[in-house]
Amino acid sequence: MLPSRSVWICIQREKKHICHRSSQHVTGLLKSSGSPVITPSPLSSFSFSKSLSGLSAARRGLIQRKMSENGVTARRSKVLTIDTMNATVKKVEYAVRGPIVQRAVQIEKELKEGAKKPFTEVIKANIGDAHAMGQQPITFFRQVLALCSYPELLKDSNFPEDAKHRARRILQGCGGESIGAYSASQGIDCIRQDVARYIERRDGGVPCDPDNVFLSTGASDGIVTMLKLLVAGEGRNRTGIMISIPQYPLYSAALAELGAVQVNYYLDEEKCWGLDISELQRSLEAARQHCNPRALCIINPGNPTGQVQSRQCIEDVIRFAAKENLFLMADEVYQDNVYADGCQFHSFKKVLFEMGPEYSNTVELASFHSTSKCYMGECGFRGGYMEVINLDPEVKEQLSKLVSVRLCPPVPGQALMGLVVNPPQPGEPSYTTFMKERTAVLSALAEKAKLTEQILNTVPGIACNPVQGAMYSFPRITLPERAVKEAKEKGQAPDMLYCMKLLEETGICLVPGSGFGQRDGTYHFRMTILPPVDKLQILLSKLKEFHQRFTKQYS
């Protein structure tokens, strides 16, 4: 006699689940792919012919010729070439890490080597990297993380008790009480529970189930993972994903990588980058002609556009998604970064639940958060989470499987996410310092948001919407026709030409609007509001001078 009854049942139940799933998959595969037909190629007598089959005709011809001269030469050609590599990878472009940034790094190197330039340092206002711009980390977070890394420090009386308490709690959640152990793929249990409680507090009591929380390697890991689940079908059935224009280029890059159809909807620059439902409708209907739009991505507060959505607008979007049967992806990584009077952050989840069961029981939503933005700005840790709502249970299992492939998010990033959602409380020793640091960062950002808007709007030819939230301004620039022409001759986007010149002449590194998408014939750049106030003022006045010079030069 073998196992006890209960084990059998327990294991069989798991097993059944697994079998059910895999048989579904098999039928799915058969349906979708059909059996591959192999046509014998004229080269099939050669052992390596197969690897040539992916090559372009021209290259095949070349290799054939070479082979007739000398078979060995042909073998030298690489396995992985531009012709054989994954076609979707070729389409991946990532503007925030594009040519401008690469040139900036080069210039920095040249400066270090003593090259003479009209400036002494490169100011990187291209990327939302607060610490690189001198913002100080939150003391409490770093204390706890240091304690977790080197628990001997728990004996050190210089560390406050609440930091030690948190560190012990985190370590207890780790395998072997070490942040060096793998965690479960979904993330450390007690941290997911803390995230759930945070979401409930933030959303005025709307319940959150820790099982719906997945910790991630920065928000981008969560976003790409959800997109992977959504993308399917071929031809007209290929998944389309609606993204705002301007957008954060992670979306376009990931869609290219996954071979999904990018469906653009335009934000209204005249209305402070507002989102208009009729534009969503237009975009969706146009897309339905050639693909299968399944999801709508929203970035709120907006990147690169800095707008903060009103509660009403979010409701409208949710109604639209419900009506059109779209999956909602809410990128809410700037949820603490709201500066403008009268603006407030509302989470999609909260609004969804306040709209009642008709919506809250049906609309599928994934919302994303990160440790990289807000007041902490801890980009290097790659911490983040996503919450999924109304996800089909079977799909959720696919999601669990998918996240298991990447093993687990970095544990220090998980720990940090845990601290962000569970910061020092009133009465705890670190509370006062924590609040002081947090407020200082957020009010400095508010000041810089205002300053940026004001100064930019004094420059003829630059028009900047209010920076209501997030970390960027995205002003529109008027470029002289000659500049536009010159850029076109060079095969460059006109605002790329502008930003490249700006970098070469002033050392200021910005990202051209073309990297984010914009209405045809309009030009922009994205600039962060992160440099310290004095540096930001210098930057803005240099920018002003440059713009005037540039305009003059090309008129």
Partner 1 sequence: MSLLRDVSPRLWSISSSEQVALAKRAAQITTELQQGVKKPYKNVIDVSWGDPHRGGLKPLTFVRQVVATCLYPSLLNSEALPVDVQQRAKSLLGECDGGSVGSYTSTRGIPKIVQSVSEFISRRDGGVQSSPENIFITSGSQRSLMMVLELFVQSEGFLQTGVLTPVPSYPYFNKALSALGGTMVPYHLCEEQGWKLKVDELRRALHVARGHCNPMALYVINPGNPTGHVQNRKSIEDVIRFAAEEKLFLLADEVYQDSVHDPSCEFVSYKKVLFEMGPPYSNSVELASFNSISKGYFGESGLRGGYVEFVNLDPTVVGYVYNLFSLDTNSAILGQITLDIMAHPPQPGDPSYPTFSEEIRSIKDTLASNVHRVHDVLGDLPGISSQPIKGGMFAFPQLHLPPCVVQEAKEAGMKPDVLYSSLLLEETGLCVGAGCEHGQKEGTHHIRLCIATPEENMEEVLNRLSTFHLSFMSRLS
CB of residue 204 to partner 1, shortest distance in Å: 27
CA–CA dist 173, 371 (Å, integer): 20
The piece of 34-42, 337-345, 429-437, 499-507 that touches partner 1 (CB under 8 A) is: 34-42
Decide if residue 264 touches partner 1 (CB under 8 A).
Answer: no
In the window 116-145, what residues touch partner 1 (CB under 8 A)?
124, 127, 129-137, 142-143, 145
- Quick one: CA torsion of 443, 448, 453, 456, rounded to 10 degrees? 170
CA–CA dist 120, 348 (Å, integer): 45
CA–CA dist 336, 469 (Å, integer): 9
- Whichever of 220 and 300 has its CB closer to partner 1, that residue is 220
Decide if residue 429 touches partner 1 (CB under 8 A).
Answer: no
Decide if residue 235 touches partner 1 (CB under 8 A).
Answer: no
Other C-beta atoms closer than 10 Å to the C-beta of 171 total 17
Question: Binding residue for partner 1 (CB under 8 A) from 41, 56, 325, 432?
Answer: 325
The piece of 26-34, 261-269, 418-426, 506-514 that touches partner 1 (CB under 8 A) is: 26-34
Cis peptide before 118 (omega within 30 of 0): no
Decide if residue 37 touches partner 1 (CB under 8 A).
Answer: yes
Q: Are 374 and 337 in contact (CB under 8 A)?
A: yes
In the window 382-421, what residues touch partner 1 (CB under 8 A)?
382, 391-392, 394-395, 398, 401-402, 404-413
Decide if residue 545 touches partner 1 (CB under 8 A).
Answer: no
Q: Are 417 and 221 in contact (CB under 8 A)?
A: no
- Whichever of 238 and 544 has its CB closer to partner 1, that residue is 238
In the window 347-386, what residues touch partner 1 (CB under 8 A)?
364, 376-382
CB of residue 468 to partner 1, shortest distance in Å: 24
Burial of 132 (0-12, 13-18, 19+ CB in 10 A): middle
Dihedral of alpha carbons 550, 553, 554, 555, sign: positive
Question: Binding residue for partner 1 (CB under 8 A) from 56, 89, 161, 204?
Answer: 89
CB of residue 467 to partner 1, shortest distance in Å: 21
Count Cα atoms within 13 angstroms, Cβ side, for 34: 4
The piece of 231-239, 269-277, 344-352, 474-482 that touches partner 1 (CB under 8 A) is: 231-239
Decide if residue 10 touches partner 1 (CB under 8 A).
Answer: yes
The piece of 7-15, 309-317, 442-450, 518-526 that touches partner 1 (CB under 8 A) is: 7-15
Residue with tokens 């759930």: 196
Q: Are 370 and 335 in contact (CB under 8 A)?
A: no
**φ, ψ for residue 347 (rounded to 5)?**
-75, 150
CA–CA dist 440, 413 (Å, integer): 23
CB of residue 552 to partner 1, shortest distance in Å: 34
Site string for partner 1, 203-222 (x = CB under 8 A): --------------xx-x--
In the window 159-188, what residues touch partner 1 (CB under 8 A)?
174-176, 178-183
CA–CA dist 147, 536 (Å, integer): 35
